[in-house]
Each structure stands twice: as structure tokens, then as C-alpha cells.
Amino acid sequence: MSTSIRGLTRAGITHGIVQVSLDLTSVEEALRMGAVAVEAGADWLEAGTPLILSQGMPAIRALRKEFPDHPIVADMKIMDGGYGEVALAADAGADAVVVMGRAYDATVERVCAAAEEHDLLVMADDLGASDQVAECARLEGLGVGMVIHHTGHDHRSKHRGLNPMTDLPEVVAATTVPVQAVGGLSMEQAVSCPGVGAPVVVFGAPLAISDEDSFTVAGGDLLSVLTTACARVHDAPAVYP
């Protein structure tokens, strides 16, 4: 496993960090995309939900073996059975797991307990909460190490123009743990995230994935685009309220 990221704090993040989401359905494509991301300068790699659903824990193991020095985020979207699911991810080599804020308090607490035992970062996703600012504050209170302010693909497809930038400053102000903004961001919006206190920037669909419904790797000069994106995020100072 790579160096632990469990104890990551805002004070420890002075500039942007790049996480590339491998929202693919084959291990081979994920490894190929991961290699491009690493060459481009990505800091963290995410085993996306489609990859985990289609390939399971072997996909995380394959990423861990291929990229031993990069933190691997397992976007398992945990809703129940928190302790056991974290243990599975830890055994496969993950450095971080994602639990859903809509899960019961008990599940979030069990996820945090297992993550402490196995030295994993807990990232909690506020997707679907009626009050996402309050949700993120609640999740920090339950012990998570990072909150993900998320506008989901289906929701923003139905309601055009939605993205997490609208109330991102309020989420940052309501919490003290690192914050990540996900869902429908343009390149310029993503690069601006460190400046509003959300320095862990995710690049995936649509930058790296050609179609969010089919989950295939995008064409074009992906390495060049990602390299530029990574450099811009790395150059962006993290600014907190």
C-alpha cells in the first residue's frame, strides 16, 4: 500500500491534488487509463463505482499492483455493512473508501471504525441530501476524514445547469475536514476548486470518459489534456475561509 492518506488535514494540503476517476468496466481499460493519468501527473487514482460493480475487488488489487505509489480510492458508495465492506477494500489494497451520507449514522460509524483499524481514509458523499451543507457537517461529526460535495449525473441531466459550485463555499465553511466537489464541473470550475477550499480535484467523465452511460475511454490527445489539467491544479494554492 502507498503512504497513508487517512490523517490528511486541510493544513496539510497547500495546493491542489488531482484524483482521476477510472469509471470503466474492464480492468484492462482501467490500467491503461491509470497509466495515462499517472504519466500526466495525477496524484490519486479512483476505482470508480462502475469498475467495482463490474469487476469487484480484483480491480482494486490490479490497480494496487500496477501503481504501488499512488493512493487508490475505492468508490464503493457504502450504504450498509460498513465494517465488512471497508475490510474488503483494505484487503484489496485501497487507501480510501467512500460511504454515502444517506446511510444510517451506525453505518458511517462502523465505516470509520474499520478505516481506523485498517488505516484508510473515509470519504463521505452528500449525494441526494436535501440539505447538503448540513449533511457534510453531520458526516464530519460522525468521524469521516473528507466530505464529497456531489451533484449526481442523473440529477444534473434532468435539471440542467446544476453543479456543486453553487453552495461549495457554504460546505467548506461548515466543515473543517478536506472537501471535494464532484459532478458536472467544467475545466475552469474544477481548477478553481482549490481557491474556494476544495483542493482535491476529480477529473473523470466527461474529460477522461467518452460517455457517462457507456463508460468507455475518451479519444483524442487525452495525455496532453490531462497533463495540462494536472499542472493547473498543482499550481493552484488551497485557500480556506
Q: What is the pLDDT of residues 170-194, one digit of tens each?
A: 999 999 999 999 988 888 999 999 9
149 pLDDT more than 60:
yes
Q: What confidence score (pLDDT) does residue 155 get?
A: 73
Asked whether residue 131 is domain-assigned, the answer is yes
Amino acid of residue 9: T
**What are the tens digits of pLDDT across the range 125-148?**
999 999 999 999 999 999 999 999
Amino acid of residue 131: D
Q: What confidence score (pLDDT) does residue 146 get?
A: 98
Say how many CA atoms lie within 13 Å of 148 toward its Cβ: 25
Asked whether residue 241 is domain-assigned, the answer is no
Portion of the chain with pLDDT greater than 70, in percent: 92
Burial tier of 130 (Cβ tally within 10 Å: 0-12, 13-18, 19+): exposed
Number of domains making up the chain: 1
CATH number (domain holding residue 108): 3.20.20.70
Using pLDDT thresholds of 50, 70 and 90, give the confidence band for residue 234.
very high
**What are the tens digits of pLDDT across the range 48-84?**
999 999 999 999 999 999 999 999 999 999 999 999 9
Asked whether residue 240 is domain-assigned, the answer is no
pTM, two decimals, is 0.92
DSSP character at residue 217: B
**SS3 assignment, position 156:** helix
Query: What's the domain range around 73?
Result: 17-235
215 pLDDT more than 50:
no
Asked whether residue 6 is domain-assigned, the answer is no
Sign of the alpha-carbon torsion through 143, 199, 35, 27: positive
Sign of the alpha-carbon torsion through 86, 206, 24, 68: negative
Asked whether residue 4 is domain-assigned, the answer is no
Asked whether residue 127 is domain-assigned, the answer is yes
